[in-house]
Structure 1
Amino acid sequence: MSLYKHILVAIDLSDEADEVLDKAKSIAEKNQARLTMVHVVEPLSVAYGSDIPLDLTTLQDEITEQARERIARLADSIHLKKGEQHVVYGRPEREVHRIAEESDVDLIVVGSHGRHGLALILGSTSTSILHGANCDVLAVRVGKNQS
């Protein structure tokens, strides 16, 4: 009996995305589970503050299109169908939770840089995903300081 039936892997566009995707794919194969990939494009106004008196629409559209292209390449590398890859706009933790609930996901896989000190206290995207999920969450440790 398979432990998981549907796995959602939340991918950022860092160099470590492949590590997270490989782990999720491996778990999906072992469980004969469906695999879905998501990348969340955060609003620039959140990242840079809403006080910027510029129209960021064109830049936001370009970022979203680049994300779609990168996610499509990652999905192609593991033969993931178009319907199983999503690029959405919003806050990562909210969008990952929304897709997980709407798609009846029973495992979310996300990368974690294993931050310490002040970065740990302030939180991270992977921590936010963990604390609001209605299913299991696997944080795959990535980055140079793995131990």
Structure 2
Amino acid sequence: MADYKHVLLVTDLREDSDQLFEKAKLMMELGEKIKLSILHVVQESILTAGYEIVPIVPASDESELVQQARGKIDALLTRFAITTDAVYIETALSTRRGILDYVESNAPDLLIIGRHTRHGLAALLGATADDVLPAVNCDVLVVKLGAPV
């Protein structure tokens, strides 16, 4: 196993996110002095009208989304008895952009990310994991998650 110093867990906080936290806990138990960071990206809701970009969701609602995400992450950390001070809830125009910005700025050794099976129209959009994988310069653990999206 590689000697990981900084592991980044990226979560969308769906019901099956616990699988990612299980993997992160395992990584923490296998290595010594591993820094675990957790990232959740809240997509900014915008509408473009001609040359103007207009927020759809008021900033106060976005702040509420960040607080709800923090509560869910704290609950998962407690459930899996994982301690970390590095929880980041970022807002970005896309989940992909938020993840790539974090990876570029913080250079983790390992990225843990989930991937849902996609059907119908969702399959045309693709999975975030598929979009991020070729653009990062670190090892990636892709965890197959439960129910299709």
Q: What TM-score, normalized to structure 2?
A: 0.79
Of the three residues 97, 102, 110, the one matched with 1:99 is 102
Q: Which moved more, 1:116-125 or 1:56-65?
A: 116-125
The answer (yes or no) to whether the contact 1:107–1:137 under 8 Å persists in 2 is: yes
Of the three residues 124, 134, 147, the one matched with 2:127 is 124
Query: How many angstroms does 1:4 deviate by?
Result: 1.9
Looking at structure 2, the residues matched to 104 and 80 of structure 1 have their Cα atoms a distance apart, in angstroms, of 20
Query: How many angstroms does 1:41 deviate by?
Result: 0.6
CA offsets 1:5-43 (integer angstroms, 9 cap, x no match): 211000111001111111122123213322111111111
Quote the residue 2:15 is aligned against: 15
Q: Residues 65-104 of structure 1 correspond to what in structure 2 (within 5 A)?
A: 65-77=67-79, 78-82=81-85, 84-90=86-92, 91-104=94-107
Q: Determine if the alignment matches structure 1 residue 36 to structure 2 residue 37.
A: yes
The 1:43/1:53 distance shift into structure 2, 3 A limit, reads: closer
Identify the structure with the greater strand proportion.
2
Looking at structure 2, the residues matched to 96 and 54 of structure 1 have their Cα atoms a distance apart, in angstroms, of 22
CA offsets 1:48-82 (integer angstroms, 9 cap, x no match): x4467856222222111111221222233333233
Structure 2 gap ranges (5+): none
Q: Determine if the alignment matches structure 1 residue 136 to structure 2 residue 101.
A: no
Query: How many angstroms does 1:98 deviate by?
Result: 2.3
The answer (yes or no) to whether the contact 2:25–2:82 under 8 Å persists in 1 is: no
Structure 1 gap ranges (5+): none
Identity, in percent, stands at 32
Identify the structure with the greater helix proportion.
1
Q: What TM-score, normalized to structure 1?
A: 0.80
Query: How many angstroms does 1:127 deviate by?
Result: 1.2
For these two proteins, the number of residue pairs brought into alignment is 141
